């Protein structure tokens, strides 16, 4: 049980200001807001300094 306010891993927007989506990576829970979610999907390498290993995420592409 926790009452702490979660914040977006990218922009630190708190959950009472933006809808946050939960995700897990490498066994760790993370939260990302809906504005930053497209970055995680399309340009995860931009989050590499916030989410260790993100530079290695597969990038969703419609090109191939």
DSSP 8-state symbol, 40 = H
- DSSP letter assigned to residue 38: H
Q: Identify which of 31, 18, 61 has the alpha carbon closest to the alpha carbon of residue 43.
A: 61
Q: Nearest approach, Cβ of 39 to Zn ion (angstroms)?
A: 8
Nearer to Zn ion, 12 or 60 (CB): 12
- Work out how close the CB of 14 gets to Zn ion at its nearest, in angstroms, rounded to a whole number: 10
The residues binding Zn ion (CB under 5 A) are: 8, 10-11, 13, 33, 36
What is the C-alpha to C-alpha distance for residues 35 and 28, in angstroms, rounded to an integer?
21
Q: Please identify, using beta-carbon distances, which residue of 24 and 63 lies nearer to Zn ion.
A: 24
């Amino acid at each position: 049980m926790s009452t702490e306010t979660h914040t977006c891993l990218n922009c630190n927007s708190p959950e009472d200001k933006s809808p946050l989506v939960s995700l897990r990576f490498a066994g760790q829970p993370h939260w990302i807001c809906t504005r930053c979610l497209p970055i995680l999907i399309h340009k995860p390498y931009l989050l590499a300094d916030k989410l260790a290993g993100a530079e290695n995420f597969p990038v969703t592409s419609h090109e191939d």
